Amino acid sequence: MSWDIKNLKNWKVGDHPPGALIPTGGNAVEYKTGGWRSEKPRWIEEKCTHCMICWVFCPDTSIEVKESKMLGIDYDHCKGCGICAAECPSDAIEMEEEEK
Ligand code: SF4
Ligand code: SF4
């Protein structure tokens, strides 16, 4: 769905369409929400103990895991909130500015 915003400056209260619609549940996988990010987590593999705390806390299910081992970060969906870096007990995730 797209909106015709050519006359946006002339819109009045009540003219605005509803925003942030989620028409069906569980559809986040269809959208690359990582495009919203201004900072990104950088995983430092050699410091990682695979405790999975970041996986528990990540609100976007963006910690990639296989057979109880962390594999990396799904940058297509990570929104850069920084929770994983804040919670990692081994300082194995650092936040850095997103590339332009
Ligand atoms: S919280 Fe830190 S140490 Fe634990 S799995 Fe994540 S990156 Fe590795
Ligand atoms: S920055 Fe936020 S969204 Fe991205 S992997 Fe870490 S906890 Fe998940």
Atom of ligand 2 nearest to the CA of 82: 1
Per-residue pLDDT of the chain (100 residues; tens, 9 = 90+): 566 777 778 877 777 666 666 677 877 777 788 888 999 999 999 999 999 999 999 999 999 999 999 999 999 999 999 999 999 999 999 999 998 6
Cα Rg for the chain, rounded, in angstroms? 18
Rounded Cα gap, residues 80 and 60, in angstroms? 10
- Tell the residue nearest (CA) to atom 6 of ligand 1: 54
Domains plus CATH for the chain? 29-97 (3.30.70.20)
Is the CB–ligand 2 distance for residue 58 below 6 Å?
yes
Q: Ligand 1 centroid to 51 CA: how many Å?
A: 5
> What residue owns the CA closest to ligand 1's atom 8?
48
